[in-house]
Structure formats: C-alpha cells, structure tokens
Structure 1
C-alpha cells in the first residue's frame, strides 16, 4: 500500500530528494506491526551537516523499517541496480530520487562514485551508503568497501556513521513484541584533513568505531530485554 500510494504521490514531482526521508518515515511507522520499538539517539549538542555521507550497517530486509526511519531530509541512498526489479518497491525507490549502481561492473561503479562529489553540492543533498556492500545477515559487521570514503574525501564533506542494533533472528512474526532496536547517529567525522591516499586508513577507522558502538548497543539491548522479562 505504501508503494502504490507513494508512486501516485511522487509522479507529480519525480526524483525529488525530499521524498526519500518522507517515505523512510512511512516505512519506519510499520515497526509496531513487526513488534519492535525503535529508539533513536542523536549526537548531543551537534548539528548534522547539510551535506555529508551517511554510512550505516546493513543487516537484512528489516532495514527498510529500522534504518529508513532516520533518513534525514534531502538525503538519497545508493543501492544496487537490481532493486529496480522488485515489484512496486523498485520503481518507488528510483522515483523518490535514490541512486542505482551496477556492482557487476567496477568501472561504472567507480564512475558513479566520482560523479557523486559534484552531485552532492550541485543538488544540495547528502548521500546514504551501506559500506559493507551487501547485507551481513548476522555475520557481524563485514569489511567496508572504500567507495563511500573516497567520495567523502573527494567532495570534502563529513562522514556521519549510523549504527543499528541487531535485528537478525530477533523478529518473529508470530510474536506481539520483539524487543527494542536502538539506532544511534554518531558525531560527524571531518574528512578535510584526509587525502585520497589515506582512504583505506579512514575506512578502517570508521569501521572500528562502528563495530565498537554496535557491540555496546547490542549489549545494552540484551541487558534491557533480560531485565524486562
């Protein structure tokens, strides 16, 4: 229903980057249907940048309900081209202004990431990228690809990490309550002091920071749910 209504809504202003946050909230409001309570945490006394690269851990299809809830205004996501073939959702994903890349062709992917540095400033948008490149499906935080970090350095915009606590094997559709999911937005990381030669170091730094925060969030959720029982 969301996809059908969304297609009718977006057809009058296609590819407008404001739509992504709007429909992210729509999908996020489905959380109670899946029996989860979402808790969002923003960095204290920090204003999120107008233009930046958001990076987040990518777990499973439930990211549509959890991570999508915190997509900020004028932020578009980067997804694989095959998403376009998902009935209704794929067309809505494209029509809202998100970007599609062909991961089977490395040169095309690199070309797209190179163009993003101009797109960020020219369209006054932020970009959301899953640096793992695929869903980790409970295997822990996978190694990061460097594309998001290369783009941030080239565009001279900050990186904002977003950590979503574990949802793998947590959500059972036959239960009324499946616990809490904590989403924490970390403080922006300035990239202006980095050169392109330092992209791998920046990639490792961000991954380690997110891994440590995810360990904290997962431990906190487990503890709170244990005491809640």
Structure 2
C-alpha cells in the first residue's frame, strides 16, 4: 500500500515540478544554473516522499570553482532525485538526444542548457563534445558526466568511456569524482524507511599538461579511486 501511495505522490510531484520548471526555463532559457535549480526541485521533495536516508559528504565538489568535469556512477532512474541535492552551481549534464522527448523532464533538460548527444551518429556526437571545451573554459560552467555510459546497479563499475576525460584534458580542467553507494538493489519502497544512501565526492584530479596519450592512465586512476570509495561506503552502510 505504501509503495502505491509513494508512486502516486511521485507521479504528481514529477508533473508539478515539470510544469513549474518549464515556466522557469522559459523565463531564463539555457541559463547554466537552471540544471541545479531543477535538480533541487526534483530532489528535495522526492527524498522525503521515497523515505530515503541520504548522507552527503561533498565538500571537495562544492569547494571546486565552476569549470570542471564531474564524473559519477549511474545506477537507476532514481539518480535524478538522489543526486539532486549535490549538483553544484553552474553545472550542466551530458545526455542522449532522445531525452528531450520525455514529457516535462526532456524539455527541462533542454532548457537547462544541457548537452544533448546523438549516440547513433558518431560525427554529430564528436561535434557536440567539442563544444564542451568552450563551455568549460569560456562560460565558467561545469559538466556532469556518467562515464559508464549506462545504468549499472552491479557491485563493480563498468569500463569508463573516454569522452569525459578527453573533454577535461582539452580544456585543461580538473576531474571531480562523485561516488554513490550501491542503493538500487536495496531500495524497499514499500517500507517506511526505504534505504540508506551515501554520496561522497573525492579530491579533484588535475589534467594540466596531460595529452590524449594519458587518457588510459587517467581513466584507470579515476575508476580505481571511485571503486575504492564505493566499496568503503558500502561497508559503512552495512555496518550502520
């Protein structure tokens, strides 16, 4: 019964935020701070509705000035709500082009100034990624990327794609890893307290002076740090 109530409230919440967000987005279209605002509108009420116990330790993320590449693990569609609290100012996201057709959310994603990529067209995808260098260096804006490229609720991170790391090197900006504990398989939305989730950001990884030849090592370093952090958070969640 509680699950049904929650899903009804979440559906209503999704529609209300979508309508409100569209009004805001139309008043200030493509403002780079729209995404943070929309994330807050989605995230804060949803965490309460879903009964999530959310713990955040993201000092390094908010201490880093805008103009960095943020990489995070991606588990489920609930990430939209779980991560809403930790999106820093002037941050946009990279997503697949088809997202803009999702009712309400897709239009907000577009009006938020996020980067839409046609993954079925490699030439257009490369061109879209090239524009991110200007976004990072000239527009004082950070870019949030899920480097696994798809949802992954398993215990091990999937291989990271090169795009985020190439962007960071081209722009000469740091990479800030954000780690989320493995909550997707533990969610119990029919319970009063549906699950504990930890989010932790790691120290920025500098890219100044690096080249394309350094990407494999950079990916390995980032993925290893994130995996160790996620494993540590998992142990803490299980003990608590």
What TM-score results when the alignment is normalised by the length of structure 1?
0.93
The number of residue pairs the alignment matches comes to: 224
Shift of 1:93: 1.0
Cα 1:188–1:117 shift into 2, 3 Å: same
Measured in 1, the distance between the counterparts of 2:185 and 2:229 equals: 20
Matched, 1:68 2:84: yes
Structure 1, residues 191-219: CA drift from partner, whole Å, max 9, x if none? 01321211111011101110111000111
Measured in 2, the distance between the counterparts of 1:122 and 1:44 equals: 22
Shift of 1:25: 1.3
Shift of 1:50: 2.5
Tell me which of 183, 191, 194 is aligned to 2:207.
191
Tell me which of 151, 172, 179 is aligned to 1:135.
151
Matched, 1:207 2:223: yes
Alignment RMSD (CA, Å):
1.6
Q: Secondary structure at the match of 2:113?
A: coil
Tell me which of 10, 21, 26 is aligned to 1:11.
26
Matched, 1:155 2:142: no
Give the equivalent residue in structure 2 for 1:87.
Answer: 103
Measured in 2, the distance between the counterparts of 1:141 and 1:45 equals: 21
Q: Secondary structure at the match of 1:8?
A: helix
Runs of 4+ in 1 over 6 A off after TM superposition: none
Matched, 1:97 2:113: yes
Measured in 2, the distance between the counterparts of 1:146 and 1:222 equals: 33
Q: Secondary structure at the match of 2:185?
A: coil
Shift of 1:111: 1.8
Measured in 2, the distance between the counterparts of 1:139 and 1:36 equals: 20
Shift of 1:45: 11
Measured in 2, the distance between the counterparts of 1:136 and 1:97 equals: 26
Structure 1, residues 52-94: CA drift from partner, whole Å, max 9, x if none? 0000001000101112321100000001111111111111111
In structure 2, list runs of 5 or more residues that go unmatched. 1-15
Give the equivalent residue in structure 2 for 1:34.
Answer: 50
Deviates more, 1:109-118 or 1:204-213: 109-118
Shift of 1:95: 0.9
Measured in 2, the distance between the counterparts of 1:45 and 1:150 equals: 20
Shift of 1:38: 1.1
What TM-score results when the alignment is normalised by the length of structure 2?
0.89
Measured in 2, the distance between the counterparts of 1:82 and 1:159 equals: 26
Measured in 1, the distance between the counterparts of 2:61 and 2:163 equals: 29
